[in-house]
């Protein structure tokens, strides 16, 4: 999809599964399973979608998937479906080398968002997957990820991100604001302290990568939030505030985990937020901007 002098494309690091109840919290299964079919272990499919935004000589990748460093036990637990080096391979097939990525913006450091930031090099040692990219994280979240609570400790693998600081590739954003021209980050902390929504303002419309604030299209409905959220009432407030602005400004939302629906615009009708138009970035909205 092209907006102004920006181009947006989706790439993938595979798929995995998580417990459907955990993904929808207090929402009864009889309601969420109409949108997400569970397997015999009550797990539902999640995509590992990443967003590539390009403008001039800038190549900005938002989130990097799970990466390769998973043993057979964890592959089974999470039903991981991905080919080796999948994200880098997909980028290469599109003519994009990992060395040419200028910036990586990590919405947060949970393993399914930041696991692909490092890879095992030819010498068996960990190295940055995108060696020339600045890696942007909220300072509050970086501090939290280093000392998580007992409740969410399992969501972080320090080996996924610690080397970024040592390699001099880490950039810490401190709150809301532009981190580069046209690129704005906004902290949303209901899911985890310092998660950030990433917005691209092109002059001809805006695109937002909404990460775990709104993992699925079905979760446009404000009360449908994850059991993983550390502060669920804050998530509700943050979703409502963001979606109100998305309606007013016609922002295109890109969903990280929805295995079927890639992007949508939003409307507010009959007392709730709903998709106005659902599409892929390759096709773009029929209303224009593609």
Tell me the CATH number at 143: 3.60.15.10
Asked whether residue 248 is domain-assigned, the answer is yes
The predicted pLDDT at position 124 comes to 87
The predicted pLDDT at position 122 comes to 87
Instruction: Give the total number of structural domains in the chain.
Output: 1
Asked whether residue 284 is domain-assigned, the answer is no
Asked whether residue 286 is domain-assigned, the answer is no
Asked whether residue 285 is domain-assigned, the answer is no
Asked whether residue 249 is domain-assigned, the answer is yes
The predicted pLDDT at position 113 comes to 98
Angle (CA) 102-105-106 rounded to 5° is: 140
Q: Which two tokens stand for residue 52?
A: 């590539």
Walk along the chain (290 residues) and give the pLDDT tens digit of each residue: 999 999 999 999 999 999 999 999 999 999 999 999 999 999 999 999 999 999 999 999 999 999 999 999 999 999 999 999 999 999 999 999 999 999 999 999 999 999 999 999 889 899 999 999 999 999 999 999 999 999 999 999 998 899 999 999 999 999 999 999 999 999 999 999 999 999 999 999 999 999 999 999 999 999 999 999 999 999 999 999 999 999 999 999 999 999 999 999 999 999 999 999 999 999 999 865 44
Phi–psi pair at 123, nearest 5 degrees = -90, 5
Burial 120-141 (b: 16+ CB within 10 A, else e): eeeeeebebbbeebbbbbbebb
Asked whether residue 288 is domain-assigned, the answer is no
- Tell me the HSE value of 59 on the side-chain side, using a 13 A CA sphere: 15
Asked whether residue 45 is domain-assigned, the answer is yes
The predicted pLDDT at position 286 comes to 84
Q: What residues make up the domain containing 66?
A: 2-279
Asked whether residue 253 is domain-assigned, the answer is yes
């Amino acid at each position: 999809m092209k907006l102004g002098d920006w181009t947006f494309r989706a790439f993938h690091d595979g798929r995995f599964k998580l417990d459907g109840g955990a993904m929808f919290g207090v929402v009864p299964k009889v309601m969420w399973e109409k949108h997400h079919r569970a397997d015999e272990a009550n797990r539902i499919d999640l995509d590992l979608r990443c967003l590539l935004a390009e403008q001039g000589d800038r190549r900005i990748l938002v989130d990097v998937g799970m990466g390769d460093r998973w043993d057979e036990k964890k592959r089974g637990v999470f039903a991981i479906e991905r080919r080796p080096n999948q994200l880098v391979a997909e980028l290469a097939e599109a003519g994009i080398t990992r060395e040419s990525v200028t910036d990586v913006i990590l919405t947060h450091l949970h393993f399914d968002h930041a696991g692909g930031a490092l890879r095992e090099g030819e010498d068996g040692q960990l190295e940055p997957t995108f060696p020339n990219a600045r890696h942007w994280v909220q300072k509050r979240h970086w501090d939290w990820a280093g000392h998580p609570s007992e409740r969410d400790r399992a969501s972080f693998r320090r080996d996924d991100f610690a080397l970024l600081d040592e390699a001099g590739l880490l950039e810490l954003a401190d709150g809301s604001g532009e981190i580069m021209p046209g690129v704005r980050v906004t902290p949303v902390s209901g899911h985890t302290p310092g998660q950030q929504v990433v917005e691209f303002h092109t002059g001809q419309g805006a695109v937002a990568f909404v990460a775990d604030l709104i993992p699925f299209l079905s979760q446009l409905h404000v009360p449908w939030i994850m059991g993983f959220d550390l502060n669920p009432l804050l998530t509700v407030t943050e979703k409502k505030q963001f979606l109100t602005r998305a309606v007013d400004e016609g922002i295109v939302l890109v969903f990280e985990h929805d295995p079927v629906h890639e992007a949508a615009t939003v409307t507010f009708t009959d007392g709730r937020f709903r998709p106005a138009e659902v599409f892929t970035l390759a096709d773009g909205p029929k209303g224009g901007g593609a």
